[in-house]
Amino acid sequence: MHIDWSALGQVAVVSIGIAVGVVAIFALGVRALSQREIDIESGSSGTLPLTGALLCFAACAIVVLYSIYLIVPQLHQH
Amino acid sequence: MTHISLLVIVVIITALAFDFTNGFHDTANAMATSIATGALRPKVAVLICGVLNLAGAFLSTKVAQTISSGIVNDKLATPAIIFAGLIGAIVWNLGTWLLGLPSSSSHALFGGLIGAVWVGAGVNGVHFDQVISKILLPAVASPLIAGIAALIATYLAYQINRRTREGPVTSGFRHGQTISASLVSLAHGTNDAQKTMGVITLTLISAGALASGATPPYWVIAAAGLAIALGTYSGGWRIIRTMGNRLTDIAAPQGFAAEASSTAVILSSANLGFALSTTHVVAGSVLGSGLGRRLAQVRWSVAGQMALAWLLTLPAAGAVGAIAAAIAIQGTVGVVIIGIAAVAVGVTVYAVSRREPVTAGNVNDVGPIGAQREALSPAS
């Protein structure tokens, strides 16, 4: 019986890293979006938090696209 | 196709029936947390899940060329033995569905096949070392990894937004959930329909209707995809309720963290060649997201029941598969007896489920944690 501990370790590190990273970035985006509302209510433009939010969501979108690439075999097999 | 025997047709129908139970057992994996947080309305959630499972079945080309990924010796698996194994898996799936327990359909199938091969072809047909490295190890490791990921992710999501207004947080994470849940559905579709396609294809090969090493005919892909999609769409509301509401109370940020963790574990392990059960992964994520939110509680009694069901899946489905095999290998009469018995079990389970139905309408009607305990304790 062969147990590939290093592959198991890789799965653990990769999945915990990606999941925590994506959720944290998404959470920052949500926070920035809420800050924009507060800014607009107090009279300022809210451009800076909006930019930050868009950057965060764009980063998450890239991870989603990469996930679809991994899920659909036609995309990564030739 | 004219020389396909009645037995082969029976096996194909049984495999599709298993595929259907697989679908309604696993809708919860993708959609339970989104339904619980209100990110998706129940009917919409199961529709998305069904469509993506169908799409996944057609998308995936890495079709399973083994019935059991090497856990049993496929060469010994005659149509009667495969039939008995499928019956073991279906009976276990129906029973756990009635109790609302999420349990792995892959484990049920493996268990049923192990039992059937053991009795039908001898103990040498079962590769027990593979059972440990391919079934038991991932079953322990994957929920643990997913749970840790969801715990840290949930904690961070709440820390980052501890001063943010509640409205934008909920709506923001709900939007995120629709995407993360869809990814879980699609990943599920590309994986799980393959199991049934593999079983049907190898049955056709063993019956001589297909050449050895043939890929599944188009109608097999379509039938397997439709069976799992219909099963998914029919909901499996009992299991959705357990996963989304009874295990812990889930808010949108937790749901998102749980789904993101599940997707990450499923994809990274598929990429590195681990076969694992989406059920185990998602349950681990949901528990982790419950623990990661401060003051959130986990109903450990429900988690305990679930863990017990996981432990029993392999031996229980195996026992049913073994009994079914003992009778089915006697010949056509045996197969007919097992078939009738399985239909009777299905009808009985359905009849019992109607006494206390769980539907799209009441799937979220579960009191907050603590309410049950207070209700039980006498007023002082």
Give chain B's mean pLDDT: 86
Instruction: Flag whether pLDDT at B17 surpasses 90.
Output: yes
CA angle B362, B363, B369 (to 5 degrees): 105
Does A8 reach chain B within 8 Å, measured CB to CB? yes
B154: which 2 tokens? 């949930």
Instruction: Flag whether pLDDT at B236 surpasses 50.
Output: yes
Q: Pick the more confident residue, B1 or B110.
A: B110
The total of structural domains in chain A comes to 1
Give the whole-angstrom CA distance, residue B366 versus residue B167. 23
Residue of B306, B320, B268 lying closest to B138 (CA atoms): B268
What ipTM was assigned to the predicted interfaces of this complex? 0.91
Instruction: Flag whether pLDDT at B118 surpasses 90.
Output: yes
Would residue B336 be called left, alpha or beta, if left means φ above 0 and alpha means ψ between -120 and 50 degrees? alpha
Residue in chain A closest to B168 (alpha carbons) equals: A34
Residue keyed to tokens 């490791």: B141
Instruction: Flag whether pLDDT at B214 surpasses 90.
Output: no
- Most B CBs within 10 A among A15, A40, A57, A63, hence the mutation to make, goes to A15
CA angle B204, B206, B209 (to 5 degrees): 45
**CB under 8 Å to B159, separation ≥6 — which residues?**
none
- Looking at residue B196, its pLDDT comes to 87
Does A55 reach chain B within 8 Å, measured CB to CB? no
Range of the domain at A30: 5-76
Confidence class of residue B293 from pLDDT cuts 50, 70 and 90? confident
Q: How far is CA B59 from CA B51, B66, B202, B249, in A?
A: 12, 19, 20, 35
Please give the full DSSP string across B186-216, using - where no structure is assigned.
Answer: HHHHHHHHHHHHHHHHHHHHHTTSS-TTPPP
- Looking at residue B204, its pLDDT comes to 86
Confidence class of residue B63 from pLDDT cuts 50, 70 and 90? low
B264, A18: Cβ pair inside 8 Å? Answer: yes
Q: What is the pLDDT of residues B312-365, one digit of tens each?
A: 999 999 999 999 999 998 888 898 899 999 999 999 998 888 888 888 888 888
- Looking at residue B379, its pLDDT comes to 37
SS (H, E, C) chain A: CCCCHHHHHHHHHHHHHHHHHHHHHHHHHHHHHHHHHHHHHCCCCCHHHHHHHHHHHHHHHHHHHHHHHHHCHHHHCC
Instruction: Flag whether pLDDT at B266 surpasses 80.
Output: yes
Does A14 reach chain B within 8 Å, measured CB to CB? yes
Chains A and B form CB pairs within 8 A to the count of 135
Give the whole-angstrom CA distance, residue B227 versus residue B231. 6
- Among the partner residues B141, B152, B271, nearest to A70 by beta-carbon distance: B271
A11, B132: Cβ pair inside 8 Å? Answer: no
Burial class, A37, CB count within 10 angstroms (exposed 0-12 / middle 13-18 / buried 19+): middle
Does A59 reach chain B within 8 Å, measured CB to CB? no
Instruction: Flag whether pLDDT at B66 surpasses 80.
Output: no
- Looking at residue B375, its pLDDT comes to 37
- Among the partner residues A22, A35, A71, nearest to B187 by beta-carbon distance: A71
Residues from chain A contacting residue B62 (CB–CB below 8 Å): 73, 77
Spell out the domain ranges in chain B. 7-365
| Lowest-confidence segment of B12-26, B210-224, B335-349 by average pLDDT | B210-224
- Among the partner residues A22, A37, A73, nearest to B59 by beta-carbon distance: A73
Instruction: Flag whether pLDDT at A67 surpasses 80.
Output: yes
**CB under 8 Å to B194, separation ≥6 — which residues?**
B57, B60, B62, B63, B64
Residues from chain B contacting residue A11 (CB–CB below 8 Å): 141, 145, 265, 268-269, 272, 274
- Among the partner residues B152, B271, B272, nearest to A20 by beta-carbon distance: B152
A10, B272: Cβ pair inside 8 Å? Answer: yes
Residue in chain A closest to B156 (alpha carbons) equals: A24
- Most A CBs within 10 A among B137, B164, B174, hence the mutation to make, goes to B164
CA of A72 to nearest chain B CA: how many angstroms apart?
Answer: 6
B59, A71: Cβ pair inside 8 Å? Answer: yes
Residue of A23, A10, A20 lying closest to B141 (CA atoms): A10
Give the whole-angstrom CA distance, residue B255 versus residue B290. 9
CA of A20 to nearest chain B CA: how many angstroms apart?
Answer: 5
CA of A48 to nearest chain B CA: how many angstroms apart?
Answer: 17
